[in-house]
Structure 1
Amino acid sequence: MTSLLSPDGTALDASLQPLAEVLTDAPNPYPVLAWLRRSPAARLLGQLVAAPDELNHSALDALSQGHATTYVRSLLTTAGLLPPRDENLALLINWTARTLAKLPGHQATLIRPFAEWHIIRAAIDFLTWLDTQQHTLQSLTQEDLDIWAISRPTLRARSIPFIRWAGARHLTRASLPIEHPPSQLPGQFQIEEDHYEELRRCLNDPTLPSDVRIAAALIRLYALPLTRIVELTTDHLHHDADHTYLTIIRHPVVLPPKLARFIDDHLEDGFPHGNEATKYLLPGRAPGRPRNPAGLSDKLKRYGLPARAARNTAMMQALDDLPPVVLSDLIGIQPRTAERFAALAGENWSDYLAATRPRPHQMRGMGRG
């Protein structure tokens, strides 16, 4: 470790001690040693620490923006050597600066204020809204974008260039047209028997990966979106003599005993990638970052536990017991979204169930059983 983080290979600069602690804080040192020997990110880190006073976002921005650069930036941010920032916004600003630098002066004079005021400010407002909704560009859906377009009519047109730019660079999962009218009601659901059979798989099937079991169970019990699940940390879990509680937004809910025991076992097994300092229940590959919700969604599909239909169904079941305003506050969704689901529950849900074969009544509500 000293040879990697020391300019002369013998003495560790004191300013890099937090970085050394992040890299060595793992129960099993062998994956870390393998990373040091073979990873391009480790080689890049070794090059950068030769001048620790120049370790900053600007220096990293000047490099090719590949996986190694992203990993090293996350590592330095986790260690506290770099301040956190909105990487999507920084990517846009840096691209704008590089593009303007190539233009003739008279063109740059006109384009700069247009880009900064017309596009970048709209992008900032859009990304801020995403943060308040616990969404990311990667998890953004057409429904989310439609809600944004309705709630921000004055910024709608100015946001179109940013949305298209993000889609063209695969920062979103798909091309999302902002011009489309908003969808009225969700259309993907499960019949109750299938919903609870999948929940039983999550709680009882040891062949499923632990991240799949945890995420799929939380979706089916509490209608949580993956963007919120990946942000859960050990600080959201609390125990007393009888129960384990998961705090969602501001409200603790009781976890079923099987799920509580399984999460405890998952945490005791340690975190992958030497990433335990983050305390995320589902940590990502890069230090200090949670699991990518888009990748987790794909993994759930591969194991036959898709997220969207299950979450929609859990929302409908919760509305049997909770008013929309209570559900909105409990799981942190927009009141308008809860009202739309309530409208469907009152008008269309019975029609949907009538179109399926009869099912026996089973457990209902948020986390019962």
Structure 2
Amino acid sequence: MAQPLQPLAVVLTGAENPYRVLQWLRRSPAARLLGRLVLDPGALNHESLDTLPQRAATAYVRGLLVTAGILPPRDENLALLTNWVARTVAELPARHAHLIRPFAEWHIIRDTRRRSARGRYTYAAHKGDCGNVLAAIDFLNWLDSQHLSLRRLQQPHLDTWATDRPTLRSRSNPFLRWSTARRLCPPGLSIEHPASQLPGHFQAEDEARNELLRCLNDTALPLDVWVAAALIRLYALPLTRIVELPARPSYRRSAPARPPRHSNTARRRYLLPGHSPGRPRNPLGLADTLRHHGLPARAARNTAMMDALVDLPPMVIADLLGVHPKTAERWATLAGGNWSDYLAVRRAAPQG
């Protein structure tokens, strides 16, 4: 193997079971992709990988190259968003692209870069930003279907849009605010938010305590299940936050004789690593795993949130858990009342 690729050989041969590595090299699509890339050293960069179909094999190979120090680490969630925006805008008709491109690049992505610089841009946030762009595209398509333009938009039109698309109404607000600020549509337009729904899934005190004891004492639980379920029940952390938690740093007794081209010190190691090297566990898959082991997340987190708000002010909860301050205030209002009575009413109500 060429000298610049020696760190990759170290990563591949450092597995506990070399026979699995050999099997991976012979059968995996990621191994075949890696084989093609190493024949062309000029393709060993993020830009070249970004031009490939973004399948699991591409993500795995990228993770291997970053782990080996051959490629520099980067915020993959930010890269996913910027590359997705570029591909999506390129497929739009020109009349829509000239609106969606500046909205996405100067409003969505600019804010994303700020969050990324603070280390707070998660995969869930990336999916939400993509949803905001898709809602803007859907809104422009709807305007076309109604023979309308942004400049001719009136509040009754917007009300009709929001009523017909309840799942997109909140996602449409960023584009509406951006369009209004740039005087692309009449001032004073707004999308009314529906009344906030109070949480409806809680646990009884005995159930919550027994599940927490199981997390702490059941040695048959897989490690990832034990860690995630305990963090939910102790600290009300959402799965999207748990999968982004860093692992404790490991220290080597001696430095390698030849360090990689790119330092790995900036590459984040996750407490719950995902399938691709250098990427966290998928929160949706983790939720399924927790349910499979009888430790579902939603009701447990709601209950832990209520318990936390008894002792901590909402602003502290918002900062610790990464929720919006208004969300924390709404929860605090519920917790400040007799929420045990509320829970009893919810349990007595027929389940739809």
Contact 1:328-1:335 at 8 Å conserved across structures? yes
Which of 4, 10, 26 is residue 21 of structure 1 equivalent to?
A: 10
Contact 2:81-2:126 at 8 Å conserved across structures? no
Q: 1:136 offset after TM fit, Å? A: 2.5
Aligned twin of 1:194? 207
Contact 1:202-1:217 at 8 Å conserved across structures? yes
**1:124 and 2:115 aligned:** no
Bigger shift: residues 216-225 or 129-138: 129-138
Q: How does 1:150-169 map to 2 (within 5 A)?
A: 160-161=135-136
Distance in 2, matches of 1:97 and 1:356, equals 45
**1:114 and 2:114 aligned:** no
Q: How does 1:79-158 map to 2 (within 5 A)?
A: 79-83=68-72, 84-85=74-75, 86-96=78-88, 98-99=90-91, 108=94, 110=95, 112-124=97-109, 127=112, 135-137=122-124
- Secondary structure of 1:234 counterpart: coil
Aligned twin of 2:59? 70
Contact 1:15-1:52 at 8 Å conserved across structures? no
Contact 1:218-1:224 at 8 Å conserved across structures? yes
Distance in 2, matches of 1:47 and 1:339, equals 54
Q: How does 1:175-190 map to 2 (within 5 A)?
A: 176-179=167-170, 181=194, 183-190=196-203
Q: 1:37 offset after TM fit, Å? A: 1.8
- Secondary structure of 2:310 counterpart: coil
Contact 2:238-2:321 at 8 Å conserved across structures? no
Provide, for residues 215-259 of structure 1, a one-character-per-residue CA deviation record: whole Å limited to 9, x for no partner.
00110011111122112233389xxxxxxxxxxxxxxxxxxxxxx
Contact 1:190-1:313 at 8 Å conserved across structures? yes
Q: 1:353 offset after TM fit, Å? A: 4.6
Distance in 2, matches of 1:222 and 1:163, equals 38
Distance in 1, matches of 2:133 and 2:315, equals 32
**1:56 and 2:48 aligned:** no
CA 1:322–1:159 in 2, change beyond 3 Å: closer, same or farther? same
Q: Extract unaligned runs of 5+ from structure 1.
A: 1-11, 101-106, 149-155, 165-174, 238-276, 358-369
Provide, for residues 80-116 of structure 1, a one-character-per-residue CA deviation record: whole Å limited to 9, x for no partner.
333424243133234136536xxxxxx65x5543332
Which of 227, 246, 263 is residue 214 of structure 1 equivalent to?
A: 227
Aligned twin of 1:47? 36
Distance in 2, matches of 1:28 and 1:284, equals 19
**1:229 and 2:220 aligned:** no
Give the paired residue count: 278
Distance in 2, matches of 1:308 and 1:139, equals 21
Aligned twin of 1:337? 327
Contact 1:119-1:161 at 8 Å conserved across structures? no
Distance in 1, matches of 2:270 and 2:101, equals 35
Contact 1:119-1:162 at 8 Å conserved across structures? no
Q: How does 1:216-295 map to 2 (within 5 A)?
A: 216-235=229-248, 279-295=269-285
Q: Extract unaligned runs of 5+ from structure 2.
A: 140-165, 171-192, 251-266, 348-352
Q: 1:159 offset after TM fit, Å? A: 6.8
Distance in 1, matches of 2:168 and 2:211, equals 33
Contact 2:122-2:244 at 8 Å conserved across structures? no
Distance in 1, matches of 2:53 and 2:227, equals 36
CA 1:187–1:122 in 2, change beyond 3 Å: closer, same or farther? farther
Distance in 1, matches of 2:113 and 2:199, equals 25
**1:205 and 2:190 aligned:** no
Bigger shift: residues 203-212 or 58-67: 58-67
Q: 1:67 offset after TM fit, Å? A: 1.8
Distance in 1, matches of 2:135 and 2:38, equals 40
Q: 1:32 offset after TM fit, Å? A: 2.1
Distance in 2, matches of 1:19 and 1:60, equals 17
TM-score normalised over the length of structure 1: 0.65
